[in-house]
Amino acid sequence: MTATTTASRQARFLHLPALVVALRPHQWTKNLLLLAGLLFSGSLGDGGRWGHALAVFTAYCLLSSAGYLVNDVRDAAADRLHPTKRLRPVASGELRPATADA
């Protein structure tokens, strides 16, 4: 492995914490409402339904995070002028738009 390859890999990992923040996992708690269907249908003991519900929950979290990333890239210029949004990873320059779009 060359020094350039190693440096490139290290550079990618440096963006990982900023990417996690940009995905806004703290917002995922709202998606737990998707699991309410198990409660109201009386299917709490059905393992198969839990598997489906968790798959849907995961997909919904990933899709909502993708939406946050797209929004952050599109609104980066305006977010830089906002008192709190300017701290978001894309607006602050901590996460490159190309990385967020990937």
pTM (predicted TM-score): 0.75
Closest CA to 101 of 91, 93, 88, 90: 90
pLDDT for 1 equals 52
Measured distance CA(96)–CA(57) in Å, rounded:
28
Read off the tokens for 11.
């550079």
Q: What is the pLDDT of residues 24-49, one digit of tens each?
A: 999 999 999 998 988 899 888 888 89
| 14: confidence class by pLDDT, cuts 50, 70, 90 | low
Q: What would the pLDDT profile of 52-69 be if each residue is shown by its tens digit?
A: 999 999 999 999 999 999
Q: Where are the domains of the chain?
A: 3-101
